[in-house]
């Protein structure tokens, strides 16, 4: 069964056949610029442009995209709320003093810093989502090999990648079997069921590991894990817009920096 997950979205992405290096330059370049920017403008612009690219030409489902953003958004908002009251500097905008010992204030300084953090999270998350939604892990493994990451580490990552889906499918099946028998109806039952699920998954994974060794031995494993050296060539029609975009973003960053 083909699950709708990040990997399947990446496999079917319109940008799948663009050179992985080009996409990494775009995403990592945006990420670095977002982190370097002293102003929220650059991460905001970066996030909006990349989102537009993902949804319109990339044809990523807006609903799926929104669901994905929800995770970092929730964490970012919770963190920003704390930062608003913890950071200080400048004139007080709002004060909450219900008790003598409770003094919560929001200042212009904290508002500025919190906005910057929120926009950075927004921009950086979207940069990483761009890679996740356009580049399957299998393509990333090839790129890792090309840049010299130790082959043993890549082999391990490939095996783990393969088994993530097997184990997650088993987890879903066990969970569904438990739900069908009201295993999560009450809190204590839920805890018991969940612990059983974890135990079963552990045993299943252990057996899968044994089977993996057998499967590899059956095919004369001698320490070699072949790689799929099929890489899309670098194309100017995709590289040039990326470079122009990054140059523009850098220009905005410099303007924000020198402009104060």
Residues forming contacts to other proteins in the complex (CB under 8 A) are 2-3, 7-8, 11, 136-138, 141, 158-159, 161-162, 165-166, 169, 208, 211-212, 214-228, 230
Report which DSSP code applies to 234: P
Nearer to other proteins, 7 or 113 (CB): 7
Nearest distance from C-beta of residue 126 to other proteins, angstroms: 25
Is residue 53 helix, strand or coil?
helix
Nearer to other proteins, 70 or 166 (CB): 166
Residues 189 and 179: their CA atoms lie apart, in Å, by 11
Nearest distance from C-beta of residue 116 to other proteins, angstroms: 39
Q: What is the sign, positive or negative, of the torsion defined by CA atoms of 74, 75, 76, 81?
A: positive
Nearest distance from C-beta of residue 112 to other proteins, angstroms: 45
User: Can you state the angle between helices 20-36 and 108-134, rounded to 10 degrees?
Assistant: 170
Nearest distance from C-beta of residue 148 to other proteins, angstroms: 19
Nearer to other proteins, 3 or 152 (CB): 3
In terms of Cα–Cα distance, which of 189, 54, 71, 33 is closest to 131?
A: 54
In terms of Cα–Cα distance, which of 162, 106, 127 is closest to 54?
A: 127
In terms of Cα–Cα distance, which of 208, 221, 129, 210 is closest to 164?
A: 208
Nearer to other proteins, 113 or 139 (CB): 139
216 token code pair: 């590899």
Nearest distance from C-beta of residue 213 to other proteins, angstroms: 10
Nearest distance from C-beta of residue 249 to other proteins, angstroms: 32
Q: Where are the alpha helices (DSSP H) in the chain?
A: 6-11, 20-36, 41-55, 62-86, 108-134, 137-146, 151-180, 187-218, 236-258
Residues 31 and 121: their CA atoms lie apart, in Å, by 10
Rounded to a whole number of angstroms, the CA Rg of the chain reads: 24
Nearest distance from C-beta of residue 136 to other proteins, angstroms: 7
Nearer to other proteins, 1 or 99 (CB): 1
Nearer to other proteins, 215 or 234 (CB): 215
Residues 62 and 37: their CA atoms lie apart, in Å, by 27
Nearer to other proteins, 79 or 204 (CB): 204
């Amino acid at each position: 069964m083909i699950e709708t997950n990040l990997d399947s979205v990446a496999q079917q992405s319109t940008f799948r056949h663009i050179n992985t290096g080009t996409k990494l330059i775009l995403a990592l370049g945006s990420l670095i610029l977002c982190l370097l920017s002293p102003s929220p403008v650059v991460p905001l612009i970066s996030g909006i442009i990349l989102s537009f690219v993902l949804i319109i030409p990339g044809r990523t489902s807006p609903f799926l995209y929104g669901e994905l953003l929800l995770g970092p958004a929730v964490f970012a908002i919770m963190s920003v709320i704390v930062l608003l009251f913890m950071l200080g500097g400048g004139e007080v905008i709002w004060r909450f003093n219900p008790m003598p010992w409770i003094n919560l204030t929001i200042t212009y300084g904290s508002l500025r810093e919190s906005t910057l953090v929120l926009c950075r999270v927004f921009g950086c998350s979207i940069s990483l989502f761009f890679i996740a939604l356009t580049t399957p892990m299998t393509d990333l493994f090839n790129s890792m090999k090309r840049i010299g990451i130790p082959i043993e580490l890549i082999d391990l990552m490939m095996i783990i990648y393969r088994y993530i889906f097997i184990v997650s499918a088993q987890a879903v099946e066990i969970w569904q079997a438990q739900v069908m028998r009201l295993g999560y109806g009450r809190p204590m039952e839920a805890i018991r069921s969940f612990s059983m699920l974890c135990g079963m998954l552990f045993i299943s994974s252990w057996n899968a590991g044994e089977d993996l060794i057998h499967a590899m031995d059956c095919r004369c494993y001698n320490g070699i894990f072949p790689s799929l050296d099929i890489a899309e060539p670098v194309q100017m029609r995709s590289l040039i817009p990326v470079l122009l975009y990054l140059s523009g973003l850098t220009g905005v960053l410099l303007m924000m920096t020198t402009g104060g």
